[in-house]
Amino acid sequence: MGFLDRFRRTPKAQPQIDPLADLVLEKLRIGYLVDYDLHTWEVTDYSRFKFNDGRSAEEWELSQSRESIYLERSVGEGELWSISKSIPIGALGNARSHILKHEDPPEQIEHQGTLYYLEGSVGGEMTASEGSDRHELIVWEFVDDTDEKFLSIQQWSETEITASVGHAVEDYQFTNILPGNS
């Protein structure tokens, strides 16, 4: 190696993607494409959650056109995949005001004709995709009579409260995972 070779920049090699090991649901990255429910979705964001009860979760924002959904992989006693969609907290009646007044949501919440029952709550921390931003939160989980649908309320600060509805999915429902621009 000559003296001037020390100052030459060589482009970093892009990591090789092993199509058998890396193109699986739990290794999605921002920019990847995945097919679900007869649509192709792009991964546009990623977050990690650690909960006070020892569980952890990963969440990928999947976007298509003007629609966004959230794919979550929860790990605790087992692995659980779910899809959810954000809803306005105002769509849950007086849930927000109830939380602000009593520091807990009501025991039951009705949304679009489905009655959801409070199953539990847990505190935790969310880390954004860049890894620098950490946000504490409290999550209240509600389930319907069939245990197939869920409703989740997240409190991020004294007054910042968000909500989502969703259902469990299986990893085989997601196909054609392709690397994209990341």
Q: How far is CA 178 from CA 35, 62, 68, 71, 175, in A?
A: 9, 13, 18, 16, 9
44 within 8 A of 63, measured Cβ to Cβ:
yes
pTM for this predicted structure:
0.85
**Tens of pLDDT, residues 28-74:** 999 999 999 999 999 999 999 999 999 999 999 999 999 999 999 99
Look at the chain and report how many structural domains it folds into. 1
pLDDT at residue 13, rounded to an integer: 53
What are 110-169's pLDDT values in tens digits? Answer: 999 999 999 999 999 999 876 668 899 999 999 999 999 999 999 999 999 999 999 999
3-state secondary structure 20-59: CCCCCHHHCCCCCEEEECCEEEEEEEEEEEEECCCCEEEE
CA distance 26 to 79: 11
Boundaries of domain holding 127? 28-178
| Placement of tokens 């970093």 in the chain | 12
* Any domain includes 127: yes
